[in-house]
């Protein structure tokens, strides 16, 4: 069974940093691209960032480019999101999601974690 | 960047009724790379349909997708109580610049 468990969320002041983690199990992690998607309270879904199976291809939404960094450690079956210079508008539930494509970026999300909440406020 | 528009914003129906949700793209979606997700309150989204019409693993056959180009439809043939949720469409596979979701359609109980 595929499981994705996010952690690292919390309350942080504007301008500070936070690092999210996603622990994956139930599939061959290093065969699949991974993504972060966020959802502000009461709002829709926004793709944040994605990384290919071998970290060779990485993409960011314009809203986070230059502030957020996605990475993965295939030996630890883990995905990360380093978030710097946080703003109030980054407040959201952050989901980790698996890409459906086997060893290519299909940009289609077939499994999602339950999310970790990030609140940016003074 | 392809912009997705979903209609209606809210659909109020009764269990057993048919639901028809629309997703329109600002430009043609290549190879029908259009997906639908369901999100129930307090839960993560779940992939329902990909490739415009293929059901994801474990999705009941009352859910069907159709369309091509810029116009796509998700149909729920007979609404079950667990189908009342928000549905999002998403275009994918188009570029390494990422992707966007539609704003969502909420299906609620009439």
- Which residues lie below 8 Å from residue B27, measured CB to CB, with a gap of 6+? B2, B70
- From the list B35, B88, B98, the residue facing A50 with the nearest CB is B98
- Give the residue, B44 or B94, on which the prediction is more confident: B44
- Above 70 in pLDDT, residue A49? yes
Verify cis geometry, omega within 30 degrees of 0, for the bond prior to B8.
yes
- Above 80 in pLDDT, residue A36? yes
Each residue of B19-30: pLDDT tens digit?
Answer: 999 999 999 888
Q: Is-contact B69 B28, C-beta < 8 A?
A: yes
Whole-number pLDDT of residue B99: 83
Rounded to the nearest integer, the mean pLDDT of chain A is 96
Each residue of B29-41: pLDDT tens digit?
Answer: 887 899 999 999 9
Each residue of B59-101: pLDDT tens digit?
Answer: 999 999 999 999 999 999 999 999 999 999 999 875 666 788 9
Closest CA to A74 of A116, A24, A112: A24
Whole-number pLDDT of residue B32: 82
List CB contacts (< 8 A) between B88 and chain A: 44-45
Whole-number pLDDT of residue B94: 59
Owner of token pair 């309350």 = A11
Whole-number pLDDT of residue A105: 84
Give the least confident one: A91-100, B7-16, B42-51, B96-105. Answer: B96-105
Return the structure tokens found at A73. Answer: 């450690």
Q: How far off is chain B from A96, nearest CA to CA, in Å? A: 10
The A residues from 60 to 89 touching B (CB cutoff 8 Å) are 60-61
DSSP state of A85: S
Closest CA to A105 of A59, A39, A43, A67: A59
**Probe site for chain B from A6, A33, A100, A108 (most B CB atoms < 10 A):** A108
Whole-number pLDDT of residue A41: 96
């Amino acid at each position: 069974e595929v499981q994705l468990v996010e952690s690292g969320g919390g309350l942080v002041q504007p301008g500070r940093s936070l690092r999210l983690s996603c622990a994956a199990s139930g599939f061959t992690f290093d065969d699949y691209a991974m993504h972060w998607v966020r959802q502000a309270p009461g709002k829709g879904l926004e793709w944040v960032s994605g990384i290919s199976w071998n970290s060779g291809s990485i993409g960011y939404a314009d809203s986070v480019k230059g502030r957020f960094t996605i990475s993965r450690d295939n030996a630890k079956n883990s995905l990360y999101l380093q978030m710097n210079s946080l703003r109030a508008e980054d407040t959201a539930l952050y989901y980790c999601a698996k890409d459906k494509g086997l060893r290519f970026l299909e940009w289609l999300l077939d499994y999602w974690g339950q999310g970790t909440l990030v609140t940016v406020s003074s | 960047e392809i912009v997705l528009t979903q209609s209606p914003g809210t659909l109020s129906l009764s269990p057993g009724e048919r639901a028809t949700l629309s997703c329109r793209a600002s430009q043609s979606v290549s190879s029908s790379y259009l997906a639908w997700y369901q999100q129930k309150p307090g839960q993560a989204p779940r992939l329902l349909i990909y490739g415009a019409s293929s059901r994801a693993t474990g999705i009941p056959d009352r859910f069907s997708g159709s369309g091509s180009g810029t116009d796509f439809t998700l149909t729920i043939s007979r609404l079950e109580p667990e189908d009342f949720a928000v549905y999002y469409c998403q275009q994918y596979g188009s570029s390494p610049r990422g992707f966007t979701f539609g704003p969502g359609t909420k299906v609620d109980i009439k």
